[in-house]
Amino acid sequence: MKTGMASWVVAAGLLIVSQSGLAGLAELASAAEPFKVGVIQQRTIIDQTKAGKRAMDSLKEFQGSRQRIIATDDQELKKLEDELKAKESVLNESAKLNKQEEFRGKFENYQRRIQNFDREIQQKQKEVAVEFQRKIDEAVQAVAEKGGFTAVIDEGGAATIQVVLYAHASVNLTDQVVKEFDRRNK
């Protein structure tokens, strides 16, 4: 049984190295003493921490404000299109071309605005994710050091690569990390 556990520990070490690019695998694999591996669920940490909830609410509001602007632009475009269709038969060729050009210009601006907002939203998501990941890393490190864990692996999930196929509940550090995270980020 000891050999099987050692193989799993070495395999976990390999996963850590392959996932994060850490150096020193040979040192971990050749160590005479076993090492403790813990697991976390980052998605749960985001969902359960106060700062995570605030960050998600902030992102939703940011995205919602952009969507409201796009919805207003969309209504204006539909109104202009309906107006153009209704007056099409009474407008002379020059006025019709002017209205069509006005519509085309507004439609192009609308498309550019959508692209810009998409970029802004992606940038905001990236900024929030990077900052939040830094805070998660600090909380994980504090919990791991306090508990004597050599490595902590994210279990992954449906939206990410599932790295851990099985972990005993005793090595799941998620609740401890949530508490540490909230303590550090009030």
Model pLDDT, residue 14: 37
pLDDT above 90 as % of the chain: 54
- Do 159 and 44 meet the contact criterion of CB atoms below 8 Å apart? no
Using CA atoms, how far apart are residues 186 and 181, in angstroms rounded to an integer?
8
Helix (H, G, I), strand (E, B) or coil at 154: strand
List pLDDT tens digits, range 56-100: 999 999 999 999 999 999 999 999 888 888 887 888 888 888 888
Using CA atoms, how far apart are residues 145 and 38, in angstroms rounded to an integer?
11
CATH of domain 36-184: 3.30.910.20
**Position 101 pLDDT exceeds 50:** yes
User: How is residue 126 written in tokens?
Assistant: 């990236």
- Burial class of residue 7, CB neighbours in 10 A (0-12, 13-18, 19+): exposed
Q: What residue ranges do the domains of the chain occupy? A: 36-184
More confident call, 25 vs 115:
115
Mean pLDDT of 157-181: 86
Model pTM score: 0.66
Using CA atoms, how far apart are residues 47 and 51, in angstroms rounded to an integer?
9
At position 115, the amino acid (one-letter code) is Q
Mean pLDDT of 91-114: 90
- Do 151 and 16 meet the contact criterion of CB atoms below 8 Å apart? yes
Q: At what angle do helices 50-87 and 93-147 cross, to 10 degrees?
A: 170
- Sequential DSSP letters for 67-95: HHHHHHHHHHHHHHHHHHHHHTTTS-HHH
Mean pLDDT of 135-149: 95
User: How is residue 92 written in tokens?
Assistant: 């002379």
